[in-house]
Amino acid sequence: MILKEVTLQNFRNYPSLSVSFSDGINVFLGENAQGKTNLMEAIYALALARSPRTSNEKEMIRWQEDSAKITGKVQKRVSAFPLEIIFSKKGKIAKVNHLEQKKLSQYIGQLNVVLFAPEDLNLVKGAPANRRKFLDMELGQMNPVYLHDLVQYQRILKQRNLYLKQLVTGKAKDEVYLDVLTEQLAILGADLLVYRLQFIKKLEAWAKPLHREISLEREELTIAYKSNIELSDEMDKDALFLKLMEAFRQGKSRERDQAVTLFGPHRDDLIFQVNGRNVQNYGSQGQQRTTVLSLKLAEIECMNEVLGEYPILLLDDVLSELDDERQTHLLKAIEKKVQTFLTTTSLDGIKKNKIDEPTIYHIKNGEVEMEGV
């Protein structure tokens, strides 16, 4: 999968920009606050119809403008087509091959990306919400059904939490409606769990040998799915549904006391262990960074396994956070097979001899100039 070019209109500090990319490693070089990360954000937003940096999409629109538009040309093995996403104060419009998509779940997945930024180093030691987001973003790109079910689950969850508060305050009294919402949530929750458990198996299968290699055979990584209901590999969708319903039944009084939904995928987590020890709590900073690097490289391979094509890799100022050994493993793993976009303030901190003929773009004050042109 290759992103051949991108055109921006009124996006962040770019009033207008059109730039073509190479199929290999593309380096965005420049000082801070010049537009490097903005260009990276635009590529991400073109793929996922959202920003990796902010939940307020209006921030992506250039000052005093009404909308921002990103278009791109995507080349896959069997097809080539344009993508377009428009962010406005009224919402967003997404187009594939010039046709507007009624649902974002039909748009997301046309261009697949893996983002690796400094904040991703908190994936292991940060809050559980970071790891749930990681699961949802990767699965959502690979499986439109998962993305559709996730949106429905979040909608029902919001309704159920609101109704629990109304029951507690006496504004509502109908227990039957709560039962209906509970059953709907358990059905969707079971669907999400099936996809998540399958993905974790695939991810661990790729991450284990990668981690072993990066750690010079010294460490063994395992990934476990942590839920507040009892899970086993033998459980199918029906069994998971029954487990969720039983959890809701037993936890009914606790949910009433707290006026919030306490069970389901929105409360789950991932556990990473290195040599049998929880790396979140007991791992060194080096072990945590190796774990995250292994996960990111495993993501790339998982997408290729599921989709039959490698995603695009976005490295936003992350190489400077990795030592020489981890840089080497990262660049070796992506060499000649993954189109890569990399931001940096200087090439000095990067092992130049490990980057095979990069295309370098100098970025200053929202202007982009390809080196040698």
* Token pair belonging to 273: 């262990």
Residue 290 assigned as binding residue: no
Q: Are 182 and 248 in contact (CB under 8 A)?
A: yes
Residue 281 assigned as binding residue: no
Residue 220 assigned as binding residue: no
List C-alpha distances in Å: 155 to 82, 103, 148, 168, 227: 31, 15, 11, 20, 21
Residue 37 assigned as binding residue: yes
Residue 30 assigned as binding residue: yes
3-state secondary structure 270-303: EEEEECCEEHHHHCCHHHHHHHHHHHHHHHHHHH
Cα gap 226→219, rounded to integer Å: 22
Residue 32 assigned as binding residue: yes
* Upper half-sphere CA count for residue 122 (Cβ side, 13 Å): 10
Residue 278 assigned as binding residue: no
Q: Are 169 and 162 in contact (CB under 8 A)?
A: no
Cα gap 259→257, rounded to integer Å: 6
| Helix and strand totals (H; E) in the chain | 11, 15
Residue 35 assigned as binding residue: yes
Q: Are 212 and 284 in contact (CB under 8 A)?
A: no
> Residues comprising the binding site?
30-37
Residue numbers in the known binding site for ATP are 30-37
